[in-house]
Amino acid sequence: MITIDGTSFRLDTDCTTYLIGKTKYGHLEHIYYGNLLSKEDGADVLAQKRSIMVGSSVFYSREDDVYSLDGMCLEWSDNGRGDYRHSPTEFKMPDGSFVTDFIYEGHEVQEGTASMEALPTACGGDQTLKITLKDKAYPIFIDLYYTVFERTNVISRRVVVRNEGHDPVTIRRIMSISMDLPDERFQMYTLDGGWIKEANLHKRPVSYGITINSSTTGASSNRHNPAFLLAEADANEDYGSVYAFNMIYSGNHYSIVEKNERDYVRICMGINPHMFEWILSPEEKFETPECVMSYSSQGFNGTSHNMHDFINEHIVRGGYKKKERPILLNNWEAHFFDFNEGKLLRLARDAKKLGIELFVLDDGWFGGRDHDKAGLGDYRVNPKKLPDGMKVFADKIRNMGLDFGLWFEPEMVNEDSELYRSHPEYAIKLPNRHSVLGRNQLVLDLGKKEVRDYIVEQVSSILDEAKVSYVKWDMNRHIAEAFSAVLQNQGEFYHRYILGLYEVLTRIFEPRPHILLESCSSGGNRFDLGMLCYSPQIWVSDDTDPIERLKIQTGLSYFYPQSTMGAHVSQAPHQQTLRETPLATRFHAACFGCLGYELDLKYLTPEQRKDITEQIAFYKQYREIFQYGRFYRIKSYKSNKVIWETVREDKETALTGFFQTLATAAESSDKLKVIGLKKGRFTIRTRPQKLYIQRFGGLIKHVVPVELNPDGIIMRAANRHYSLKDCEETYTCSSEALAAGIPLCEQFIGTGYRESVRMLGDFGSNMYITEKESEQQR
């Protein structure tokens, strides 16, 4: 709800209040952001008191020696009027100076969301406040938009700059958010990484000076995700003040956190000013991407829940909004480029038998794409691989009872392609320099209309011809040599690229809401809210090693729900790490996302086939909870444990993944906590899982009564057809006891195998199912 009382603007969500004041000079002050205030509380009490003159400051008014912009908590700020912190803007004004003085001009409140022309906006907001600021010297306006999403405790912010004067204004920096908070010994948490190690969570104290979280690769990037947290020093998963920020944008992003000498912390977030410059001609306007923020006093899980609900409700749209996602088989790690119709059909048949629902044909099906040096750009079926064409092949897949999905990388071109030979000018490159390649490819210039039309036409015609129901949209290199022959001003390049991308995605997928789009950028190189407005799920990482996924998916879970994360079970040792992990752990990690399999099924043993069939049946039974349940990261006091829990909306069923990274000798007993349940009695049980006897090697003598050569033929044959039962526990108790934590059976320490000994070892895991007792059971 938005309430305005003359000099203050109050934005309430279900659990938070955001308060903005207007000073006597017309500047916007940031007054409060935190837990919901009582109706009677107003800006007068909560506003910062200004009663001393601070030496060496510059004062906004000659008559007022306590009004220095530098010492205020502001909601927006200028350059050159005495505030020396990082400004949300840098405009070159018609007089050639960089000095601006934007003050309050008016405001409006409207019901719902105010959409943008070219950028995606979160949908279904409750109310929107627009506060207009005007520069004192020129008719240049800044509209600050605030949209309130009450139930999910999110407020979004964005800015529109309008030039109503006669001269152009050069925008060198324009943020979507600026606000100053009093310091709470904040810690800043960011998601950093790179290819196959995306979204690792890092924490650093907010210290004096500026900390920047940004991307310059042309995408939101795997280096630094746009999302970040500011948390009070003592906050943990369940307690403490936490602010979360994110941005609905897939290009170069930029956030700063600056602590000044008065211990105020400025937060700015927006398009990266790096290589950015936008000339705003008279009568033109510039829209910034929408940014979102959320507050919770319930620790990190609190802001995560707000952000998860917000994404499921207000970001994801189209036919797959809140819809359960299919279990897929992707052929990439099975075949890479080396396949033919026979191999694909065999894989699909095997997949169907295991319970898979969607078959995805990855890279390599078109043009001369027998390796990654050729073919990108030519989306015509390679007749050597699929002689009867895509439609006939897709029909064969559908006749098996599977849906059919296809991979594209439409933003790219190989020099060795028909497209490049006929249209070399479609690629991004400079006329006077040799081009640099990434994965042997160039990026297409999405700022050009003819390129956008080409992509829309090529992709759409295959989608319609083969009745494709899922698309994996890839983007496998960073942008370099930013230059477009159609632009007068190259400072617009990166933003125009993203506008072009959003246009293409809208034109292809808006008329085809039945298609599930999974976006990908060498894994999670473009995992952001902008892409989620078009693709309900994103391929998290090319790293399918579950132990790496524990870090990556944990990192993403701070901001993004499980329904957005593509997660696959692959072969071990893993392609990316050479690590050997149990099949059960690969499955348990992938369960907390949109499950898929990505391996050559023909090499599975009969026992592994049974195992995977049971896994898939189990996932189907609880899919809604895995994809849409309330997700908790459970604190463990042991550094070798990762515990994830997801709870059904009615709080009567919970699923807990209990993961061990490295085993330690004679480890103390483990406790399992299950939280977020309603009051009552529950039964908790271990999901039955197989123990492959090969895992024991020479230790097999502890486990079976007969002597076996650990490397012998009998052992290998036995491993194909038999497995042991892993420890299964069942307890019945109250939700209070579960929240306190119940001790589990002890782990194997070499003194013998029994069914009551948990056999985790390195990288082992268990899944626990907690269900409310029914009246009959009581």
Q: Which is nearer to ligand GLA, 347 or 634 (CB)?
A: 347
Residues 6 or more apart whose Cβ sits within 8 Å of residue 774? none
Q: Which is nearer to ligand GLA, 134 or 197 (CB)?
A: 197
Given a contact cutoff of 8 angstroms between Cβ atoms, the answer to whether 731 and 684 are in contact is: yes
Q: Which stretch binds ligand GLA (CB under 6 A): 270-278, 518-526, 672-680, 689-697?
A: 518-526
Rounded least distance, CB 71 to ligand GLA, Å: 49
Q: Are strands 278-280 and 403-408 parallel, antiparallel or unpaired?
A: unpaired
Render the burial of 20-30: b for 16+ CB within 10 Å, e for the rest: bbbbeeebbbb
Structure tokens at 489: 């001003």
Dmax (CA) for the chain in angstroms is 96
Q: Report, as residue numbers or ranges, the catalytic residues.
A: 474, 542
Rounded least distance, CB 336 to ligand GLA, Å: 8
Beta-strand ranges (E) seen in 423-492 are 442-443, 470-473
Number of residues that bind ligand GLA (CB under 6 A): 11
* Amino acid letter, 772: K
Rounded least distance, CB 586 to ligand GLA, Å: 16
Please count the other Cβ atoms lying within 10 Å of the Cβ belonging to residue 182: 13
CA R_g for the chain? 28
Q: Which is nearer to ligand GLA, 412 or 427 (CB)?
A: 412
Which x/- pattern, by CB under 6 A, does the window 585-624 give for ligand GLA? ----------------------------------------
- Using the structure block, give the residue that is written with the tokens 């938070």: 16
Q: Which is nearer to ligand GLA, 101 or 518 (CB)?
A: 518
Nearest to 189 by CA among 206, 167, 176: 206
Q: Which is nearer to ligand GLA, 289 or 523 (CB)?
A: 523
Residues in a beta bridge with 568? 596
Structure tokens at 435: 């081009």
Rounded least distance, CB 585 to ligand GLA, Å: 21
Number of H helices, E strands in the chain: 15, 40
User: How far is C-alpha 629 from the chain's CA centre?
Assistant: 17
Q: Which is nearer to ligand GLA, 290 or 543 (CB)?
A: 543
Q: Which stretch binds ligand GLA (CB under 6 A): 68-76, 77-85, 519-527, 755-763?
A: 519-527
Rounded least distance, CB 462 to ligand GLA, Å: 16
Rounded least distance, CB 435 to ligand GLA, Å: 20
Binding ligand GLA by CB under 6 A: which of 135, 258, 474, 670?
Answer: 474
* Amino acid letter, 30: H
Q: Which is nearer to ligand GLA, 476 or 557 (CB)?
A: 476
Q: Does 522 bind ligand GLA (CB under 6 A)?
A: yes
Structure tokens at 276: 């950015």
Which x/- pattern, by CB under 6 A, does the window 226-245 give for ligand GLA? --------------------
Which x/- pattern, by CB under 6 A, does the window 125-164 give for ligand GLA? ----------------------------------------
The answer for 195, left when phi > 0, alpha when psi is -120 to 50, beta otherwise, is beta
Rounded least distance, CB 477 to ligand GLA, Å: 10
* Amino acid letter, 124: G
Q: Which stretch binds ligand GLA (CB under 6 A): 27-35, 76-84, 93-101, 520-528?
A: 520-528
Rounded least distance, CB 465 to ligand GLA, Å: 21
Reduce the DSSP state of residue 507 to 3 states and report it.
helix
Residues in a beta bridge with 173? 90
CB-closest chain residue to ligand GLA: 363
Sheet holding 630-634, edge to edge: 630-634, 641-647, 653-660, 765-772, 681-686, 730-734
- Using the structure block, give the residue that is written with the tokens 């898939």: 616
Q: Which stretch binds ligand GLA (CB under 6 A): 45-53, 123-131, 515-523, 604-612?
A: 515-523
* 341-354 and 606-628 helices, crossing angle to 10°: 70
Q: Which is nearer to ligand GLA, 277 or 372 (CB)?
A: 372
Q: Which stretch binds ligand GLA (CB under 6 A): 255-263, 517-525, 698-706, 716-724?
A: 517-525
Q: Which is nearer to ligand GLA, 258 or 362 (CB)?
A: 362
Q: Which is nearer to ligand GLA, 439 or 681 (CB)?
A: 439
Structure tokens at 37: 């205030």
Rounded least distance, CB 327 to ligand GLA, Å: 17
Binding ligand GLA by CB under 6 A: which of 135, 287, 362, 611?
Answer: 362
Render the burial of 67-82: b for 16+ CB within 10 Å, e for the rest: bbbbbbbbbbbbbebb
Q: Does 520 bind ligand GLA (CB under 6 A)?
A: yes
- Using the structure block, give the residue that is written with the tokens 């912190």: 85
Rounded least distance, CB 420 to ligand GLA, Å: 18
Binding ligand GLA by CB under 6 A: which of 143, 198, 258, 363?
Answer: 363
Given a contact cutoff of 8 angstroms between Cβ atoms, the answer to whether 503 and 510 are in contact is: no
Q: Does 476 bind ligand GLA (CB under 6 A)?
A: yes
Render the burial of 312-348: b for 16+ CB within 10 Å, e for the rest: bbbbbbbebeeeebbbbbbbbbbbeeebeeebbeebb
Rounded least distance, CB 577 to ligand GLA, Å: 16
Q: Which is nearer to ligand GLA, 363 or 378 (CB)?
A: 363
Q: Does 543 bind ligand GLA (CB under 6 A)?
A: no
Please count the other Cβ atoms lying within 10 Å of the Cβ belonging to residue 583: 20
Rounded least distance, CB 599 to ligand GLA, Å: 13
Residues in a beta bridge with 314? none
Q: Does 523 bind ligand GLA (CB under 6 A)?
A: yes
Structure tokens at 17: 């209040």
d(CA 425, CA 421): 10
Q: Which is nearer to ligand GLA, 407 or 659 (CB)?
A: 407
DSSP state of 448: S
Binding ligand GLA by CB under 6 A: which of 146, 407, 558, 682?
Answer: 407
Span 313-352, contacts to ligand GLA by CB under 6 A: 332
Positions touching ligand GLA (CB under 6 A) are 332, 362-363, 407, 474, 476, 520, 522-523, 539, 542
